[in-house]
A and B are shown apart, each in its own frame.
Chain A
Amino acid sequence: MALTIEEVRHIAQLARLKLTPEEERRYTEQLSDILDYAGRLSKIDTTAIPPTASVLPLRAPLRPDAVRPCPPQELILRNAPSDQEGMFRVPPVLDT
């Protein structure tokens, strides 16, 4: 399974990663190798096999819908790269 450099650029767009031309070239090669290796999975007949999404017995535990204290706003904002008036500050999202 050989990936093209265009496919690598498309995946990087989906993953929100800016890659250098050197990274695009290297990942094209390395991801092709890894996918080629993973290709052996396609040879296994799994028509009657259910997927394993979790190794645990499926259950949906319930908890009381009780009010609990949460960390104060200032503590949460302390890690923000930029904040203003109690909010996370980001660059423009829409053209003005």
Chain B
Amino acid sequence: MTDLTTLSLLEAADLLRSGDVSSRELTQACLDRIQDTESKIHAFLTLTPDLALKQAEDADQRLTEWRKEGGKPLPHTWGIPVAIKDVLCLEGVPTTCGSKILEGFRPPYTATSVGRLIDAGAVVLGKTNTDEFAMGSSTENSAFGPTYNPWDLSRVPGGSSGGSAASVASNMCYAALGTDTGGSVRQPASFCGVTGLKSSYGRVSRYGLIAYGSSLDTVGALAHSAADLLPIFHAIAGHDPLDSTSMPDPVPAVDLDGTDLAGLRIGVPKEYFIEGMQHEVEIAVQEAVRVLETLGAVACEISLPHTDLALPVYYIIAPAEASANLARYDAVRYGPRLEAEDLREQYFATRGGLFGQEVKRRIMLGTYALSAGYYDAYYGQAQKVRTLIKGDFEAAFKDVDLIACPVAPTTAFRLGEHSEDPLSMYLEDVFTLPANLAGVPGIAFPVGFDSDHLPIGMQLNAPHLGEAVLFQAASAYQEVTSWHKERPSL
């Protein structure tokens, strides 16, 4: 019998439909795989095997009925084991955001994205590791220890959705939900050699996503290919009255048949090929653009002139929003409490003692940027420069349908490499931040390996709500290449 965990999501879905395997068998295979490899990877913060096996049994029952009914539409997510980043709430299941300040918290409700995925038949294996409150690019900022890159255990998986990326890359699940505030789906997807979607701002409900930077936060997903991601996207996307920033626009059906990209205009921004970036990354991305050209796309150089300002803008706006969002952790309604003599001292003791170094650093930075006398100089100015960055994308999308660029300047770096210098860690996000500031969607997918056999990723960006063309272009590329089929040996 073939190892079920090496299948793609769509291959597994076909076997479920034909009745050749059951969801219970797939789920058990994933749980066994986790049992065998999790001690090396540490992708999960919480495992939910009992819930998963119960959901799998329900899925199998529905599949049996579905086969008798014959031909009715059924989502391809039905009976598929998935993982959920631990910043998304699932009722009754511990949700920590990788932080000691939420240790033991069991949400009284389920995030819309998670609930919709479960309603579409998915089986939840557990909650995945993340940088604390999604603040980081390596998953080293988790209060519960780092995740290790399945391609090289001495390296980081990227972050903040590092647990989700590593769980997919090491065949522990078929897909995982992640979130992307400054690159937190795309960069770990790139480092782990999987495909990751950052949805448009407003496309996927954030109800039940524990807030970090509210003008930037998006929910996304990771899987082995664009074709595997599509049914996940269709399960979670669409308007939600519980999230006032979710867009009412319908989510289009996407046809992935064929590899014809005739006439598709792809812009390659010259500002994304910078001094100091890894040469192999540059070469692999340019080669991938040539592959897209062989499929009919037309590529040209474009300019996004304010790209170098995205990093300083992001590291004012995101901490400012974080400092406001994280004010809620007061040890009154949930979370552990460090006792003190009076309420005020209890706030100081609990927040000082239970938030990690990076979270405190960003709260401090954001508090400063919003404080009297500095607001206009920092936050106000950053919001204005953000308009220029958004304008770069709007101008570019008058001439091109897609933007193609690297995901990160390098492949996966070593654990501890950036831990003494926060600014050098922030520079890892230099190519992913602009899409969040502009609100546009992006997809990251593997386009090669470097000389250390570490995956290299490319990113495509489309206009706001333009996910369909991202799926079509990435899927066409994956039809004629096999980078996404490579798996790490563990």
Partner of A41 from the list B352, B385, B387, B422 (CB cut-off 8 Å) is: B385
Give CA–CA (A31, B342) in the complex, Å: 30
For B346, the chain A residues whose CB sits under 8 A away are 90-91
- Contacts A44-B388, A50-B387: A55 and B334 contacting too (C-beta < 8 A)? no
Best-surrounded residue of A35, A40, A88 (most CB of chain B within 10 A) = A35
Partner of B368 from the list A11, A61, A82 (CB cut-off 8 Å) is: A11
Query: Would you give the shortest CB distance from B243 to chain A, in whole angstroms?
Result: 10
User: Residue of A at shortest CB range from B370?
Assistant: A14
Query: Would you give the shortest CB distance from A85 to chain B, in whole angstroms?
Result: 16
Give CA–CA (A8, B336) in the complex, Å: 26
User: Residue of A at shortest CB range from B464?
Assistant: A55
- Is B353 in contact with chain A by the CB < 8 A criterion? yes
Query: Would you give the shortest CB distance from B62 to chain A, in whole angstroms?
Result: 27
Number of residues on chain A facing chain B (CB within 8 A): 49
For B18, the chain A residues whose CB sits under 8 A away are none
User: Residue of A at shortest CB range from B349?
Assistant: A18
Query: Would you give the shortest CB distance from B135 to chain A, in whole angstroms?
Result: 13
Partner of B108 from the list A37, A54, A71 (CB cut-off 8 Å) is: A71
Let me know if B367 and A34 touch, CB within 8 A: no
Partner of A88 from the list B104, B333, B348, B437 (CB cut-off 8 Å) is: B333
User: Residue of B at shortest CB range from A60?
Assistant: B244
- Contacts A31-B364, A79-B333: A49 and B384 contacting too (C-beta < 8 A)? yes
Let me know if A12 and B364 touch, CB within 8 A: yes
Give CA–CA (A21, B202) in the complex, Å: 42
User: Residue of B at shortest CB range from A46?
Assistant: B384
Give CA–CA (A10, B59) in the complex, Å: 55
Query: Would you give the shortest CB distance from B435 to chain A, in whole angstroms?
Result: 10
Let me know if B202 and A56 touch, CB within 8 A: yes
Number of residues on chain B facing chain A (CB within 8 A): 71
Pick the interface stretch among B38-46, B171-179, B374-382. B374-382
- Contacts A41-B382, A54-B215: A80 and B387 contacting too (C-beta < 8 A)? no
Let me know if B439 and A56 touch, CB within 8 A: yes
| Majority-rule SS of A interface residues | loop
* Chain A 51-92 interface 0/1 with B at a Cβ cutoff of 8 Å (1 = within): 111111000010100000001000110111110000010111
For B361, the chain A residues whose CB sits under 8 A away are 27, 30-31
* Chain A 9-20 interface 0/1 with B at a Cβ cutoff of 8 Å (1 = within): 001101111110
For B24, the chain A residues whose CB sits under 8 A away are none
- Is B339 in contact with chain A by the CB < 8 A criterion? yes
- Is B343 in contact with chain A by the CB < 8 A criterion? yes
- Contacts A44-B388, A53-B383, A81-B337: A27 and B343 contacting too (C-beta < 8 A)? no
Query: Would you give the shortest CB distance from B201 to chain A, in whole angstroms?
Result: 5
- Is B247 in contact with chain A by the CB < 8 A criterion? yes
Query: Would you give the shortest CB distance from A3 to chain B, in whole angstroms?
Result: 8
User: Residue of A at shortest CB range from B340?
Assistant: A91
For A33, the chain B residues whose CB sits under 8 A away are 422-423
User: Residue of B at shortest CB range from A72?
Assistant: B108
A-B contact pairs, 27 of them (CB 8 A): A8-B364, A11-B364, A11-B368, A15-B363, A16-B344, A17-B348, A17-B360, A17-B364, A27-B360, A27-B361, A31-B365, A35-B378, A39-B312, A41-B381, A42-B377, A44-B388, A46-B387, A51-B380, A52-B383, A54-B215, A54-B245, A56-B439, A63-B241, A79-B104, A79-B108, A80-B334, A92-B342
Chain A residues proximal to chain B, CB less than 8 Å? 3, 7-8, 11-12, 14-19, 23, 27, 30-31, 33-35, 37-42, 44, 46, 49-56, 61, 63, 71, 75-76, 78-82, 88, 90-93
